[in-house]
Amino acid sequence: MAKNKPCLSRESKVTILSSILSQAPPGEFSEVVNDLRTLLHDDNLICENIGRITAKYNLEHFIPVSVGAGTEKVLITEHGDLRNGCFLDPKQKVIFKFDHLNKTVSDIKPCTVVNPVENWRTAIESALTSYVKKHYPKGNLSVYGKKCRDQKIITACIESHKFQRNEFWNGFWKSEWKLVHSASQAEVSGIIKVKAHYFEEGSITLISNTEVNQKLPVNNECEGATEFVKAIENADVDFQLALMENYQKLDSLLKGLRRQLPFTHTTVDWDKIINAKIVREMDLAQSL
C-alpha cells in the first residue's frame, strides 16, 4: 500500500499550503502554520513561501497595526500598499515599512504626496470614525482617496475582531466601501464579510457576506460624508438582522435533529431519581 501512495510535487504542496492558510480562521493563522509544519515535515518549503502567503493573508484581513505614538491603528490593505513592504497611513500622513511575519512597524516617514481629494477623504474619515467608535467597540478603519479623471474615489475599510481562545472562539467583521463621485451624483458600493470559528470539542465555522450597491445625491463634502455613513449604517443593520434571522432558523433546525424522547418513549423523571438517591444516601449514613 505504501508503494502505491501518490507523491505530490513541490508545486502541488505549495498550492495546497497557500489554499489552507488563506482559509485560516481569524486569530489562528500561526496555529495553522504550526499544524502544517507537523504534517508536511518540510520546513524549507514553508520558509520559502510563508512570507508571501502571510502578506496576502494580512492584506485580505485588514490587519490593524499601531504606527508611531498614535492610539488609533491603521489597517494593512491593498489601498495603502506602496509595494516593497511600504504602506501609507492616510490619517497621520506617514509612510512606514511593515514586516508581515513579525507584524512590526519601522522606518516611519512623513508623507509629502498631495491628494487632490483630501477634503472629501477627511470629511468622510471624520464622520466614519464617529460611527465606528459608536458601533464597533474594538473597531478600526482607514480611509483612502484618489482622483481618476473627473471622478473622486474614496475607499473606506473597516475592521473589528474579537479573539477568545480561552473560550474556544474567534471572530471578525470587516467591510470595504467605495464612494465614486462625479458631478452631483455619487455611487456607493460595498461588501461586508463576517467569519467566526467555534472549536470547543469540535470545529464550526460561520462565513457570511453581502454586497451593497446604491446611488446617492451628493453636492458637497459634508453632505457626501453624511449620506455615505448613512448608507453604511443601513447596510450594517440589514446584514445584522439577516444574520439574527438565520441564527433563529439554525437553532430551530438543530433542535429538530435532536431526539425528543429516549428509546423508551418516556420522559425521564429527574425528581424521582434525585429523591431515590437522597434516600439511599440517608440509609447509608444511618447504617454507618
Q: Is 63-113's fold the same as 118-248's? A: no
pLDDT at 20: 93
| Interval 12-41: pLDDT, tens | 889 999 999 999 999 999 999 999 988 888
Domain residues of the chain, as ranges?
A: 1-60, 63-113, 118-248
Instruction: Indicate whether 256 pLDDT > 70.
Output: no
* Segment 118-149, tens digit of pLDDT: 999 999 999 999 999 999 988 999 999 998 88
Per-residue pLDDT, 263? 63
pLDDT at 284 over 70: no
Distance separating alpha carbons of residues 234 and 204, to the nearest angstrom: 29
Q: What is the 3-state secondary structure (H, E, C) of the chain?
A: CCCCCCCCCHHHHHHHHHHHHHCCCCCCHHHHHHHHHHHHCCHHHHHHHHHHHHHHHHHHCCEEEECCCCCCEEEECHHHECCCCEEEECCCCEEEEEECCCCEEEEEEECCCCCCCHHHHHHHHHHHHHHHHHHCCCEEEEEEEEEECCEEEEEEEEEEEEEEHHHCEEEEEEEEEEEEEECCEEEEEEEEEEEEEECCCCCEEEEEEEEEEEEEECCCHHHHHHHHHHHHHHHHHHHHHHHHHHHHHHHHHHHHHCCCCCCCCCCCCHHHHHHHHHHHHHHHHHHC
Tens digits of per-residue pLDDT, 57-99?
A: 999 999 999 997 767 899 999 999 999 999 999 999 999 999 9
Fold of 63-113: Ribosomal protein S3 C-terminal domain (3.30.1140)
137 in Cβ contact with 161 (< 8 Å): no
pLDDT at 235 over 90: yes
Domain 1-60: assigned CATH number:
3.30.1140.60
Average pLDDT score over the chain: 86
pLDDT of residue 249: 76
Please tell me the CATH superfamily of domain 118-248, with its number.
F-actin capping protein, beta subunit (3.90.1150.210)
Cell numbers that stand for 100 in this block = 508581515
